[in-house]
Amino acid sequence: MELNPDEYKDVLDRATARSMEWIESIPDRHVAPSANVDAMKRVFGWPQQDDPIDPVDVVDELATLAEPGLMAMPSGRFFGWVIGGTLPAALGADVLVSSWDQNAAMRYASPATAAIEEVAGEWLLDLLGLPSGSDVGFTTGATMGNWTGLAAARAYVLNQVGWDVNTKGLQGAPTVTVLAGAERHASVDLALRYLGFGLPTIVAADAEGRIRVDALRTTMDTVDGPVILCLQAGNLHSGAFDPMREAIEVAHEHGAWVHVDGAFGLWAAASPSLRAQLDGVETADSWATDAHKTLNVPYDCGVAIISRAGVSRAALGAQTSYLIKDGEASDPYDVAPEMSRRARGVPVWAALRQLGRSGVVALVDGLVANAQALASGLSALPDVTVLNDVVFTQVSLYFGSDDRTRAVTAALIADGAVWMSGSKWQGHDILRISVSNWSTDADDVAFSIEAVRRAIESAT
């Protein structure tokens, strides 16, 4: 067998052509898929054949068969969950990353991707106003970004009381109290579960879902021993930000480590007009964010940032005979969980390079402007209440009653021309909008308001 570059060329040409069919369909296609998983399982569900087939045919078959079961997540009319599309440079870079096929975990083994990711990390710290020199690790998403920050926190706060969690584990360890707001994201609980902590102690939140500093102070005063506080930049339903400076001050007075889940909301820090809402965020100890949401790089890419020197490496770093260090700097595998991974920080570099600093600000401000335009257009429709202060990219809608809200949501999803998610917030069914796509424009906003109007009319 021989590596034949022509074979790759044929496959890549075909993949590009089929990718372009998909991308060209985005502006006009229905957002919702036309086939469900069961239908897709029937389409793909044959036993594997015995003989090899032409790789170009594999790509063709894949593109043709998958198409009905794809959701147009890259569409400017997709507002589901918190997802985001793909900037052109980020997609191109992602294709290069696949072609290069580097295991990006070791600096020595892949100098180019290591350097590009380190520069992307420095640019991120600068854009987000976080302490320069912090460790930056690229993870699959903010769930693992939260895990990484909280793993560092666990090692640090236990070390402060003379317990080495690396060697002794958690059994018999001093009790660590983990505090989190009532409206933390589910992934914080997951990360805590993976770390052996179980559920956090809950601190009450206000009407917008922000942690209440008075409640935090009261709880903190009752706690003895090592403490970790999880804050949130960007509530899933309201977009609201925890009061960072005050909450972090209270926590630090008690010697706590503060971790901020800023999966999408941390990007507000890049915008001069939004940054005040995150005032003091830079005084925390660790942060998680996503690049695959607000920054619009392809899946998957999260970011874990840890400010205290040496902590990530002590908590996460591996030492084995076969890993080769290139100098004193931390390797990618020292600051994030994986020992083998794709160079997922490279599309981050490309997105930031395409946008420039002003482009990042315009991207973030544009998402917020569209969220506010949707909120104001929708609140003019009959029976629509916007439940939250639209301070960022999230809008939560209510249609008079829970039943009615569920009916409108079902009608909207059945129509499929735009996509928004149903959810529950503060005991009520809601319809939630997340504006996370760089390409959403005024036409998409008008079209989407019209789609909700149709859903209101047709809902029974």
Ligand X SMILES: *Cc1c(COP(=O)(O)O)cnc(C)c1O
Q: Would you count residue 134 as binding ligand X (CB under 6 A)? A: no
Q: How long, in residues, is the chain?
A: 460
The binder of ligand X chosen from 33, 85, 234, 243 (CB under 6 A): 234
As a whole number of angstroms, the distance between CA 205 and CA 211 comes to 4
E strands within 132-242?
135-139, 177-181, 201-203, 227-232
Q: Would you count residue 33 as binding ligand X (CB under 6 A)? A: no
**What does residue 365 show for φ and ψ, rounded to 5 degrees?**
-60, -35
As a whole number of angstroms, the distance between CA 117 and CA 434 comes to 28
Letters for 260-299 (x = contact with ligand X by CB under 6 A, - = none) are: -x-xx-------------------------x---------
Comparison of 85 and 234: residue with beta carbon closer to ligand X: 234
Comparison of 141 and 243: residue with beta carbon closer to ligand X: 141
As a whole number of angstroms, the distance between CA 43 and CA 36 comes to 11
Q: Determine contact, residues 366/268, Cβ cutoff 8 Å.
A: no
Q: Would you count residue 302 as binding ligand X (CB under 6 A)? A: yes
How far, in Å, are 63, 293, 413 from residue 32 at the CA level? 17, 19, 7
The binder of ligand X chosen from 187, 238, 294, 448 (CB under 6 A): 187
Restricting to residues 337-366, which ones interact with ligand X according to CB under 6 A?
none
Comparison of 228 and 236: residue with beta carbon closer to ligand X: 236
Q: Would you count residue 143 as binding ligand X (CB under 6 A)? A: yes
Minimum distance between the CB of residue 346 and ligand X, rounded to whole angstroms? Answer: 18
As a whole number of angstroms, the distance between CA 31 and CA 27 comes to 9
Minimum distance between the CB of residue 82 and ligand X, rounded to whole angstroms? Answer: 4
Minimum distance between the CB of residue 370 and ligand X, rounded to whole angstroms? Answer: 18
Q: Determine contact, residues 342/97, Cβ cutoff 8 Å.
A: yes
Q: Would you count residue 80 as binding ligand X (CB under 6 A)? A: no
Q: Determine contact, residues 232/261, Cβ cutoff 8 Å.
A: yes
As a whole number of angstroms, the distance between CA 311 and CA 314 comes to 5
Stretch that binds ligand X, among 138-146, 220-228, 343-351, 355-363 (CB under 6 A): 138-146
Stretch that binds ligand X, among 42-50, 140-148, 324-332, 392-400 (CB under 6 A): 140-148
Minimum distance between the CB of residue 191 and ligand X, rounded to whole angstroms? Answer: 9
Q: How many helices (H) and strands (E) does the chain have?
A: 15, 11
As a whole number of angstroms, the distance between CA 448 and CA 442 comes to 10
Q: Would you count residue 210 as binding ligand X (CB under 6 A)? A: no
Give the list of residues 6+ apart from residue 452 with CB closer than 8 angstroms, or none.
Answer: 378, 381, 384, 397, 408, 412, 418, 420, 431
Q: Would you count residue 141 as binding ligand X (CB under 6 A)? A: yes
As a whole number of angstroms, the distance between CA 71 and CA 26 comes to 10
Q: Determine contact, residues 267/289, Cβ cutoff 8 Å.
A: yes
Number of residues that bind ligand X (CB under 6 A): 13
Minimum distance between the CB of residue 224 and ligand X, rounded to whole angstroms? Answer: 29
Q: Would you count residue 236 as binding ligand X (CB under 6 A)? A: yes
The binder of ligand X chosen from 59, 73, 82, 231 (CB under 6 A): 82
Q: Would you count residue 181 as binding ligand X (CB under 6 A)? A: no
Binding positions for ligand X, rule: CB under 6 A: 82, 141-143, 185, 187, 234, 236, 261, 263-264, 290, 302
